[in-house]
Amino acid sequence: MEKLSYDAIVIGGGLAGLMAAHEIAVNGYKVAVISKVFPTRSHSSSAEGGIAAYIEENSDPNDNPDYMSYDTIKGGDYLVDQDAAELLSMRSGEIVRIMESWGTLFNRQPDGRVAVRYFGGQTYPRTRFVGDKTGMALLHALFQRVSGLDNIDFYNEWFSLDLVRDDKRIVGVVAMEMKSMNPVFFKAKAIVMATGGMGMLYAHSTNAYINTGDGYSMALRAGAALKDPEFVQFHPTALYPSDILISEAARGEGAILINNKGERFMQRYAPKKLDLAPRDIVSRSIITEIREGRGFPGGYVGLDLRHLGEEYIKERLALAYEAALSFSGVDATKEPIPVRPAQHYYMGGIDVDITGMNSDLIGLFAAGEAACVSVHGANRLGSNSLLETLVFGRETGRAVAKFLESHTEDSNSLDNEVDKIVDDAYKYTKSESGVHFGEILNKLRNVMWDEVGIYRDEDHLKDAISQINQLREMSKTMYVTDKSKTYNTEFFNALELRNMLDLAIVIAQSALNRKESRGAHFRTDYPQRDDDNWLKHTISYLKGNTVEITYKPVRMTKWKPEPRVY
């Protein structure tokens, strides 16, 4: 098997991965970026509404970084590590200025300053934007920047199989070129997991098909923990029936949610913030309206933009207008857009500190949605995700560069372990009987949506765990019908399913263990937040078929928990 050596490897070519790679490279180290897709097709490009930032000369005069930190902490239902939230706020203005200098053309106010809009849970408006295509604009600017660095090599359309470890030290990753299906052992002293989210675990998700939780599961199999894996965010406004995201920017610009009686129903659930309450509250409110018979036939509510005017909608919310027209046949200037909640984001992730470093495995780092720095806690505020990718992508890249200064040792020969990783992957092409992977995938996605979704309880979670374990057992003999060795997408889909099954059991077991409701984790049998017993992070390991769970305290600096009222 071919072997390639680098100082560091970044798995994932989205905003977090590219920013980490940039920081490692400008410090003089050689970096490989391994991505399932071409970097500008990463899921970061789908982030629409904007990037949160406090900019002193361009913010409400009453606003300050502490208010931004507080909003993030309250929005996360006090499961946020407060030093992480403070760092996010302090770095936010600087990051926006950097991205602007690298070519991101933010919308402007009439006086020339960067434009700003409200997003859910914000005391003052802080969301900077490029229409409703902000992620795409940021990603293209950053990719252009890193493409000019000659010590970064890109391996696009490569699939990472598993991490390679030497005792407690990560020494590389085995990846496979998707075109030729040839495996390569990439050796490195440090690896950054920047593999994004896991939306394909759910039957309804706004995520791209590439978001299958690969990084989480590779880390679990290598022996690293996930932090707070039970916390899954559901976005309130996915287009019905396609589940394409209708950005929170629409509500930030003044769109309102209505039921089949024409009522602005958020007045019942969040009388102060209304439609701009945090996403967990709005999603549960929509589901309640539908369950109590006030939704529209098919199970959705309306997002009404009509009062904003045709010109304004087409200028400021072009993507939302185009999506509704193309995929639901709805002209948003004339009728409400049909929307319902769908899985959107994962607050859980690989357990890392504020620098992106994992403590279980030497040389393992993570950034972006793949990581849990604990900056989002139990619920992420809109427009904080783009900010997190860049702020903590940069922090992680700098931490890797510092790590490489003092870690120069080489690893032992690990040919047997590398060969086993490849053999385990190829077994799906050799099996001729059992269950087709597609059948298992469909069952898994429905189980997660029905049993580990917006509303949870003990009976449904136990049933989910039982079903997931059955599916994990079935997957041992699953097969693919395509046996070709060139761009065999069915084969790679089976590998993704293996990752999804590993992650699913950790999510379900962690959700069962947390006997309270907090943020996006809502237990109908434990409907109240319980700070006395559950103000702590879940730390979950996967040991074979067993999920082992411990807990650790939330880092508090200034703000004590208080009732979360909007």
- What secondary structure does DSSP assign to 363-392, as a single string? TEEE-GGGEE-SSSTTSPPTTHHHHHHHHH
DSSP strand pairing (51-52 vs 127-128): antiparallel
Q: Decide: 345 and 388 in contact? Cβ < 8 Å.
A: no
- Which H or E run includes 539? strand 536-543
Q: Cis before residue 271, ω within 30 degrees of 0?
A: no
DSSP state of 485: S
The contacts of residue 49 (CB under 8 Å, 6+ apart) are 117, 119, 127, 129, 132, 134, 247, 248, 249, 252, 382, 383
Q: Decide: 210 and 150 in contact? Cβ < 8 Å.
A: no
Topology (CATH) of 415-531: Methane Monooxygenase Hydroxylase; Chain G, domain 1 (1.20.58)
Q: What is the pLDDT of residue 415?
A: 84
Q: Decide: 395 and 134 in contact? Cβ < 8 Å.
A: no
Q: What is the pLDDT of residue 429?
A: 79
Q: How far apart are CA 237 and CA 247, in angstroms?
A: 7
- List the structure tokens of 355: 């620098």
DSSP strand pairing (152-156 vs 31-35): parallel
- Buried-state track 530-561, b at ≥16 Cβ within 10 A, e below 16: ebeebbebbbbbbeeeebebeeeebeeeeeee
Domain locations in the chain as residue ranges: 237-343, 415-531
Distances (CA, A) of 135 to 3, 14, 51, 495: 34, 10, 8, 28
- Tens-place pLDDT, residues 147-179: 999 999 999 999 999 999 999 999 999 999 999
Q: How far apart are CA 71 and CA 121, in angstroms?
A: 6
Q: What is the pTM of this model?
A: 0.96
- Tens-place pLDDT, residues 542-553: 999 999 999 999
- Residue recorded with tokens 């919308």: 107
For the chain, list residues with pLDDT below 50: none
φ and ψ at 542, to 5 degrees? Answer: -110, 110
| Angle formed by the axes of helices 65-75 and 82-101, nearest 10° | 120
Q: What is the pLDDT of residue 443?
A: 98
Q: What is the pLDDT of residue 431?
A: 76
* 521-530 CB contacts, 8 Å cutoff, 24+ apart: 521/230, 521/231, 521/232, 521/378, 521/456, 522/280, 522/284, 522/454, 522/455, 522/456, 523/456, 523/457, 523/458, 524/455, 524/456, 524/457, 525/457, 525/458, 529/77, 529/561, 529/564
Q: How far apart are CA 190 and CA 464, in angstroms?
A: 36
Q: How far apart are CA 69 and CA 87, in angstroms?
A: 9
- Residues marked active site are found at 279
Quote the longest CA-to-CA distance of the chain: 69
Q: What is the pLDDT of residue 412?
A: 72
Q: How far apart are CA 144 and CA 531, in angstroms?
A: 46
Identify the CATH class of 237-343: alpha beta
Residue type, 242: S
Distances (CA, A) of 79 to 52, 82, 88, 186, 295: 20, 9, 15, 36, 32
The contacts of residue 148 (CB under 8 Å, 6+ apart) are none
CA-nearest of 316, 399, 369 to 42 is: 369
Helices (H), 102-242: 134-147, 214-222
